[in-house]
Every structure is written in C-alpha cells, then in structure tokens.
C-alpha cells in the first residue's frame, strides 16, 4: 500500500504527422512535487509551442533532457516517483500518459481538461500555481541549481556537480527559494534575449515577471556597457573598437540551430518553390480612397474596440476578387492529378514571430462581415505575437496575404504557402505623385504582387484576380456593388 514506483513520462504523440518536439523550458526540477494536470514543461513542435501537463501525482526524480533538446515522440523525458498508497484507484491507472477520458476523480479536483496535445490537456484553471517549498533537501537544491545554471548558460549560481546522490553541504545562496513567476511567452522572450529571470525584478501582479520587466533588465545590462568607453578615455586615436556593435566584440560568427517552426518553414518553402511552378504578377494602384475609408471606419460605432487598418480592406478586397473568380481558390492533388476547387476561403495571414514565420488562417473568412473579419484579424495577430498560435490555426489555408509593407518594402515575389494556390504581397503605402483626373497630384499609392501556382491558375485567371483586388482598393465602393 505504501510502496512507491517510478513512472516515466514520455513525449506525447503530437499528431499531424509530427514525430519530434524541442523542450523549450522546464517548469519543475528534481525534488519538486507535481500534481495531475500540472504543466511541467513547454515544448515546441514544427507547428507551435505548447505546454505539456503531466497525468499523475508524485515527486520529480530526474529530468532526462536539458532545455533546447529535440526529443522523439515516445521517448521518456521525466521520471516521477508515484506513491502507491495515496490513492489506490487512481495510482493503478495505465503507465502510459492518461487519455482524455479519465477514471473517476474526487469532487474537489478538476473534472475535465481541455486538450492541447493528443491525449493530453491542461488544468481547468491554468493560472493557479501550486505552493512552493521554502526549503529543499540540500542535495536536491544543489542539483537543481547546477541543472538550471547549465541550461541558462549564465545563471547567477556557479556550476556545481549534477550528481543527485552526493550529500553536499547546504549552500542557500546557490539556488533561489522558488522559481521566478512568468508566463511562457515571457520566458521565451527572456531566453531569446539571454536574460536570466532570476535576476529580473517583477512588477506584475503577485510577483509575475512581465515583458516590460525583461526589456528593462536588458536595458539595465546594456547601460554600463555603453557608459564604459566614456569612463576610460585612454586612447582617443583608436575609436574603431568602441564603434563596433557589442555582439562583435568577442565573437566573429554565431551558429543558430534551425529547428522547430523555423525548420518546418524552411522545408515547406523549399518544397513549395521547387514543386509548384510560380508565376508572379504586379500592379501599382492608387489607394487614396481606401485610406480615407479606413479613417471613417475607425470612427464608426460598429468597429468600436476593433483594430481597423488597411490590411482589413485589402483582405476584404481579396475575398471579393475570389468570389468573382472562384477557380483561383483551389489546390493541386498530385496523387489523383486533379484540381480541387474549394468553396470556402480560409484566409492565411503571414506573421513574423520570434520563432520564425507562421501562417495562421481565418476559417471561413468568406462568410464574415467586415466587423467580424476585423475581430478575427485582431485575434490572429495578437495570438501570434504572444506565441499562442495553435497547430489547427495553421492548417487548412486556401490563400494567403503577406504584408511586407509594414517593413517599408515596396513589393516582393512571395512563395506560395504549401498546398495553396495563391499568395498576395502588399507593399508599403506611400504618398507619391500620381495622375488623377488629368493632373499630377500627391496620392496614396501601393504595389501589389500576386504569386500563383501555374498548374491550376493560368495567366488570365491570375490577372483577373489581381486586377479585381486593385479595382476594389482604388474604388472601395465596389465592396458594395460587387458583393
């Protein structure tokens, strides 16, 4: 009844044909107590980053892989000692991670979990945090400190032997009493910027570290570095070293492993570029009236609380063009050698994130009103920026828009998102001299580029779609007359 057993928690089947995932962050260390449904780590697949809950109660005995390691599905990543006598009915659950349908649970525990990965879920209230132990076994403290120092690469604690059995003398300064509190996107930001969260002063509620706290820590670290040259005016004849960026001081090259979302994107783009015969057409258009309409919609009560920008009307213009030329909304079935015309539009929006380029899409965008489309665009962008885009949100797209204009670029030749027929690139909107009503006047002008798969879209069809998008943006009243 009281015997304890060690269970190995394996990397779950993430589905969608994916066979591996990278461990981004461990939220527990050896010696920590875990409960059923508690998130123990964050992993990144080729689709997105997700938090991984553990399906039973116990004490962490070992972490088998450090952060940054790519692990195959089915490989054990953490060992947990489970007490056999605490809850006999539940501790006899299958050794594999618990499926979605769980055995009966006591009334005081959460009744259900919402799926994140196949067969897994997060706790009903993901914001609740378990109490942290104020004191740990000295050996566990030293081992946890060593693992954390090694994974962070620049932790405050000096490296210590990672052997969990050596009873080292207590060193209360070697490890903090508890792990800093921060949400997964903030932890990823800190990791990307090389910031140790243990050194960051939190300003959020209940001591939670925010994005602003991380950026403040970066600024504070850079301030002494920038002030150092002024404090040492030793050799005014050689200003070149101080003029070089800090990253060039000691390292001439940096190698960045390509994995996760970035690796999947690279493979997909290569496959698309060398599988689908791309054709790109361009058109430059006066969008002055569209820009005026954007300003008017911002004042409309129907759009209160919604983000209204040129991309909203460009997306609507493309949807109108697809409705007038439905054959462009298709895909190529290589196995059957058939063209599959879609009678729905899942509109993809290319988004640049810290993890690389992703293309989530708005499901059934063709059926949405303009306010509904604005709300969907706003949700899509904010979710992508926070790193919370789900794998399902990036699947099933039919056509895509990429807004390179936000970077000040006039236009480009976009590569098709795999499985889609067309992608529209939108350039920067600039005030330029334009012939309007027989006179040269300053007008708001942009350049559009449409790439399409020439196996299923010929030049005539592609030209009609691009011309229709341009016509709507030049005369936005066509959103009514052509709808």
Kindly report which listed range (23-37, 108-122, 191-205, 239-253) carries the lowest average pLDDT score: 108-122
| 378-382: Cβ within 8 A, 24+ apart | 378/306, 378/307, 380/349, 380/351, 381/307, 381/349, 381/351
404 pLDDT above the threshold of 70: yes
**Rg for the chain (alpha carbons), in Å?**
27
Catalytic annotation, pick one of 64, 154, 278, 454? 454
Choose between 278 and 402: higher pLDDT.
Answer: 402
| Comparison of pLDDT for 93 and 211, the residue scoring more | 211
User: Which of 95-104, 343-352, 393-402 bottoms out in mean pLDDT, i.e. has the lowest?
Assistant: 95-104
The tens digit of pLDDT for each residue in 141-169 reads 554 444 444 444 444 444 444 444 444 43
Lowest mean pLDDT among 21-25, 59-63, 265-269: 265-269
Beta strands 399-403; 422-426: pairing state:
parallel
Q: How far apart are CA 5 and CA 58, in angstroms?
A: 9
Locate all alpha helices (DSSP H) within 92-210, ordered by sequence. 138-152, 184-193
The pTM for the full model equals: 0.53
Long-range contacts of 37-42 (CB under 8 A, 24+ apart): 37/110, 37/113, 37/121, 37/122, 37/123, 37/124, 38/123, 38/130, 39/122, 39/123, 39/126, 40/9, 40/78, 41/77, 41/78, 42/184, 42/187, 42/188
Whole-number pLDDT of residue 46: 66
Q: Active site includes 366?
A: no
Query: How many CB atoms sit inside 10 A of residue 189's CB?
Result: 20
Going by pLDDT thresholds of 50, 70 and 90, the confidence category of residue 382 is confident
Torsion from C-alpha of 294, 300, 305, 311, nearest 10 degrees = -20
Q: Concatenate the DSSP letters of all residues of 76-88 into one string.
A: EEEEEEEESSS-H
Of residues 423, 166, 183, 238, the one with CA closest to residue 318: 423
pLDDT digits (tens, 9 = 90+) for 174-210: 444 467 787 767 777 777 777 888 888 888 887 888 8
Task: Determine the pLDDT at residue 270.
Answer: 66
pLDDT of residue 201: 87
Top mean-pLDDT range of 172-181, 245-254, 386-395, 400-409: 400-409
Confidence of residue 96 (pLDDT cuts 50, 70, 90): very low
Type and span of the H or E element at 471: helix 459-474
Average pLDDT of span 223-232? 46
Counting beta carbons within 10 angstroms of the beta carbon of residue 46, is it exposed (0 to 12), middle (13 to 18) or buried (19 or more)? buried
- Please tell me which residue, 211 or 128, carries the higher pLDDT value: 211
Evaluate whether 200 touches 220 at the Cβ level (below 8 Å): no
Q: Per this entry, what is the length of the chain? A: 483
Complete domains list, the chain, with CATH = 1-130 (2.40.50.100), 260-481 (3.30.559.10)
Does residue 310 register a pLDDT over 50?
A: yes
Residue 482 phi/psi, 5° resolution? Answer: -90, -10
Given a cut of 70, whether residue 297 has pLDDT beyond it is yes
Q: CB-based burial of residue 400 (10 Å sphere; 0-12 exposed, 13-18 middle, 19+ buried)?
A: buried
**Lowest mean pLDDT: which of 72-81, 138-147, 305-314, 458-467?**
138-147
Question: What pLDDT does residue 126 have?
Answer: 42
Among 30-34, 56-60, 87-91, the minimum mean pLDDT is found in 87-91
DSSP code of residue 158:
P
Most confident by average pLDDT, 73-87, 288-302, 408-422? 288-302
């Amino acid at each position: 009844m009281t015997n304890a057993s060690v269970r190995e928690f394996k990397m779950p089947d993430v589905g969608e044909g994916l066979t591996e995932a990278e461990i981004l962050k461990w939220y527990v260390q050896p010696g920590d107590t875990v409960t059923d449904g508690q998130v123990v780590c964050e992993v990144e697949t080729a689709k997105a980053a997700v938090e991984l809950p553990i399906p039973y109660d116990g004490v962490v005995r070992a972490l088998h892989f450090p952060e940054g390691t790519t692990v195959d599905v089915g490989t054990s990543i953490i060992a947990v000692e489970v007490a056999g006598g605490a809850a006999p009915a539940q501790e006899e659950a299958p050794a594999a991670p618990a499926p979605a349908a769980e055995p009966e649970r006591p009334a005081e525990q959460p009744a259900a979990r919402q799926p994140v990965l196949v067969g897994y879920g997060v706790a009903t209230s993901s914001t609740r945090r378990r109490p942290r132990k104020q004191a740990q076994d000295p050996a566990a403290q030293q081992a946890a400190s060593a693992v954390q120092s090694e994974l962070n690469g620049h932790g405050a604690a000096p490296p210590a032997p990672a052997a969990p059995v050596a009873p080292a003398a207590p060193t209360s300064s070697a490890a903090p009493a508890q792990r800093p509190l921060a949400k997964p996107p903030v932890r990823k930001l800190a990791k990307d910027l090389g910031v140790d969260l243990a050194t960051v002063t939190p300003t959020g509620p209940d001591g939670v570290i925010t994005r602003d706290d991380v950026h403040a820590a970066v600024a504070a670290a850079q301030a002494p570095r920038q002030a150092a040259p002024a404090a040492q005016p030793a050799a005014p004849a050689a200003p070149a070293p101080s003029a070089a960026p800090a990253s060039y001081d000691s390292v001439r090259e940096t190698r960045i492993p390509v994995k996760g979302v970035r690796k999947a994107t690279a493979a997909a783009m290569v496959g698309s570029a060398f599988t689908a015969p791309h054709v790109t057409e361009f058109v430059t258009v006066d969008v002055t009236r569209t820009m005026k309409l954007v300003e008017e919609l911002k004042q409309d009560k129907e759009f209160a609380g919604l983000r209204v920008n040129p991309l909203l009307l460009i997306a609507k213009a493309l949807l109108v063009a697809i409705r007038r030329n439905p054959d462009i909304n298709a895909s190529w079935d290589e196995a059957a050698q058939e063209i599959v015309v879609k009678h729905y539009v899942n509109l993809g929006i290319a988004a640049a994130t810290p993890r690389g380029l992703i293309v989530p899409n708005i499901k059934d965008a063709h059926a949405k009103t303009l306010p509904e489309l604005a709300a969907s665009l706003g949700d899509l962008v904010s979710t992508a920026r926070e790193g919370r885009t789900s794998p399902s949100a990036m699947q099933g797209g039919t056509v895509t828009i990429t807004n390179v204009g936000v970077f000040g670029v006039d236009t480009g030749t976009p590569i098709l998102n795999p499985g889609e027929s067309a992608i529209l690139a939108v350039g920067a909107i600039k005030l330029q001299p334009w012939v309007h009503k027989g006179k040269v006047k300053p007008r708001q002008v942009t350049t559009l580029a449409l790439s399409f798969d020439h196996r299923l879209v010929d030049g005539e069809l592609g030209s009609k779609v691009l011309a229709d998008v341009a016509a709507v943006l030049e005369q936005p009243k066509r959103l009514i007359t052509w709808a």
